[in-house]
Structure 1
């Protein structure tokens, strides 16, 4: 019997193998997606999705699916509902593995000025290659580690990672250079903004984990969030992607188990439970002097949540969208 604290123990699924056809498509269609593909001195593949290359929303959708290890679908809806023209839709039949075992940006990658020979480097790695290295404590809780011979990692950066970081990735993932693909997606780009907003379901899974809900009881997930235009200002761009989820994110989780636990999850999950709710993320971030750890953790959650217990057939709803706030931040008067 699988320990409920290790919901992915014994999983036969390989997020890197499942993502590989999507990576191959990204590389094959790079010109059409406005991407640039190069290789570094070691032979690792680098995909510029918004640094010098223009990138695109379509590339961001595909990168979102790559981040989810081929276990999620990311699409776009343009119907003008809720007073905003374009929405990202995400769904997964394996939400814990797709979101926490792959998509979550949990791998801290840093290098000092001395190590880089110039400017210090920092990024959070996200995507399937995290599960090859399994450096985060989260993988011990999940009971999961991938064993694929090739891997892909997404970095939200505005420059190519230095050699010392690439060498670390190869070493920790146990890969040959030809087996590593790095996708670079600054949040100031179309692809970068899109792939971050596509984390709306992952944000809900991470919050459920923080609340102590049994991850093995989460079996389905569907989510939407509005897609803002990227900003050339890095802080504003990051603020917009966060606000899209905190004030415009809708999530429907399918769970099993106890009705009381499902009801409690619905009540506690929405972002409105945070003391920081109601202001733009960029404003909050500046106020705490750009220190994420000073922001109330309860804020990092979708705005509106439904939780359906598939064992009892009961559904609970809590939270609400705050589109007037988003329109005030994003929309200029014609």
Structure 2
């Protein structure tokens, strides 16, 4: 992508415009906030839909990835999943989709994702992502059960240098259909984040595709969160196409699968409870797809490691 353009932000905004146009079909609600911001409820006080979740995922990646529902007969009880593919995976996933912007205020807690992060650039991650955008409007995705309060809107407005009326906030809780879908659609992003943690050169990752099963939503937050994480940790598959030495591709494949983590082997909700709800106490190496395939483009070699744990999936997603 050309540095300094507004591609991701403008494309995401167009996707959200389409969501607004199709609000009745998607079962979402559109309102205007106190500061003139556009608020889109995709699953908090409305039913929402799987399609709304797919649109949220596409917008969160700035239109740089295709997201679709697919059939996978290997899982007898959960044969439907998501497939995410991108020819700009680093920019789409880490530059835009990653929920890395802390947007909390008093009792309101949410992590922001979407292309507005490229404008704010307030996260340490952007020290390794030189790409920049200048946009006249933007989109923020929130995994939340309520719209952002005015203080959060003002925070985003100041950080992005955009007036509130040029900002759209799309939100849905983990327990909703749309929330479940857009979280599982991070399966490729989770793999890229793991690659970054492993110090693999991000510029060498030139294409990527990943998939994971769609679990059923659950009204209990802990159960819903556990299911979405387990869908990736025990059921996710990701393939990267990389440049550079084949030995580096092999090492990436060996270290990336979730089973390389010390905390692998239990449902995520149980792991979360063991660490007393401290997300950051969990081994970060756990957050990765179950199976990883890395293809070294310069030699044509492909390295496969890990594997889906079907028994754990059936136990977790039941």
TM-score of the superposition, structure 1-length normalised?
Answer: 0.93
Q: Is the 1:73–1:92 Cα contact (8 Å) retained in structure 2?
A: yes
**Is 1:152 matched up with 2:139?**
yes
**Is 1:109 matched up with 2:124?**
no
Q: Which residue of 1 aligns with 2:64?
A: 71
Distance 1:90 1:160, change over 3 A: same
Task: For residue 56 of structure 1, report the CA deviation from its aligned partner.
Answer: 0.4
Task: For residue 246 of structure 1, report the CA deviation from its aligned partner.
Answer: 0.2
Distance 1:51 1:14, change over 3 A: same
Task: For residue 140 of structure 1, report the CA deviation from its aligned partner.
Answer: 2.0
Instruction: Provide, for residues 64-88 of structure 1, a one-character-per-residue CA deviation record: whole Å limited to 9, x for no partner.
Output: 0101111001000135333222110
Task: For residue 329 of structure 1, report the CA deviation from its aligned partner.
Answer: 2.1
**Is 1:280 matched up with 2:275?**
no
Distance 2:134 2:20 in 1: 23
Q: Which residue of 1 aligns with 2:114?
A: 127
Q: Paired residues, what number?
A: 317
Which has the higher mean CA deviation after the structures are superposed, 145-154 or 17-26? Answer: 17-26
Distance 1:192 1:180 in 2: 20
Equivalent position to 2:244, from 257, 260, 267: 257
Q: Is the 1:9–1:142 Cα contact (8 Å) retained in structure 2?
A: no
Distance 1:275 1:32 in 2: 44
Q: Which residue of 1 aligns with 2:152?
A: 165
Instruction: Provide, for residues 128-176 of structure 1, a one-character-per-residue CA deviation record: whole Å limited to 9, x for no partner.
Output: 1111111111112111222111000100011121111111111111111
- 1:227-246 correspondence runs (5 A): 227-246=214-233
Q: Which runs of 5+ in 2 are unaligned?
A: none
- 1:184-333 correspondence runs (5 A): 184-331=171-318
Q: Which residue of 2 aligns with 1:35?
A: 28
SS in 1 for 2:134: coil
Task: For residue 13 of structure 1, report the CA deviation from its aligned partner.
Answer: 6.1
SS in 2 for 1:91: strand
Distance 2:28 2:225 in 1: 21
Q: Is the 2:26–2:48 Cα contact (8 Å) retained in structure 1?
A: yes
Distance 1:160 1:179 in 2: 16
Q: Is the 1:133–1:172 Cα contact (8 Å) retained in structure 2?
A: yes
Distance 1:12 1:317 in 2: 37
Aligned-pair RMSD on alpha carbons?
A: 1.3
Q: Is the 2:261–2:286 Cα contact (8 Å) retained in structure 1?
A: yes
Q: Which runs of 5+ in 1 are unaligned?
A: 1-7, 113-119
Q: Is the 1:170–1:176 Cα contact (8 Å) retained in structure 2?
A: yes
SS in 2 for 1:307: strand
Q: Which residue of 2 aligns with 1:4?
A: none
Distance 1:82 1:185 in 2: 27
Task: For residue 200 of structure 1, report the CA deviation from its aligned partner.
Answer: 0.2
Distance 2:206 2:164 in 1: 35
Q: Which residue of 2 aligns with 1:3?
A: none
Q: Is the 2:6–2:135 Cα contact (8 Å) retained in structure 1?
A: no
Distance 2:130 2:171 in 1: 28
